[in-house]
Amino acid sequence: MPLPRLTHRQFLVISILLADVERGRDVRSRLRQAGVRQTGPAFYQMMATLEDGGLVAGRYEQEVVDGQIIRQRHYKVQAAGKRAWMECRDFYAQTIGSLSGRLAFAR
């Protein structure tokens, strides 16, 4: 089985997006809760890479926050993103399964 094409951060982002469409700032908040420290520009660069790869789709929506109209970026996982996520999940599940007998010493 080939190595997964998703990085651990990309896997986590797609995991977050599997449930529903999310605002970029909410995805960043969930990543911080998971211990991921990343600047805003680095986050949006990663999201652009996922969009360019057809794994997620992003769109802007106008929202009113404290009386100000702002544009929020919203993201949704695409079918290709779900497939990549499942391939990554299956790769690690299979790897763990095949190594489980040899990993007993690590406990």
pLDDT (tens digit per residue) in 33-65: 999 999 999 999 999 999 999 999 999 999 898
Backbone angles phi, psi at 39, to 5 degrees: -70, 160
What is the predicted pLDDT for the residue at 103? 60
Structural domain harbouring 76: 8-95
Compute the distance between CA of residue 90 and CA of residue 6 in angstroms, rounded to an integer: 12
pTM of the model: 0.85
Residue 101 lies in a domain: no
Compute the distance between CA of residue 45 and CA of residue 41 in angstroms, rounded to an integer: 6
What is the CATH number for 57? 1.10.10.10
Counting Cα atoms < 13 Å in the Cβ hemisphere of 3 gives 4
pLDDT surpasses 90 at 8: yes
Residue 103 lies in a domain: no
Q: What angle do CA 57, 59, 20 make, to 5 degrees?
A: 60
Residue 76 lies in a domain: yes
Residue 65 lies in a domain: yes
Max Cα-Cα span within the chain:
59
Residue 41 lies in a domain: yes
Going by pLDDT thresholds of 50, 70 and 90, the confidence category of residue 107 is low
Residue 58 lies in a domain: yes
The structural domain count of the chain equals 1
**How far, in whole angstroms, is CA 58 from its chain's centroid?**
13
Residue 106 lies in a domain: no
Residue 69 lies in a domain: yes
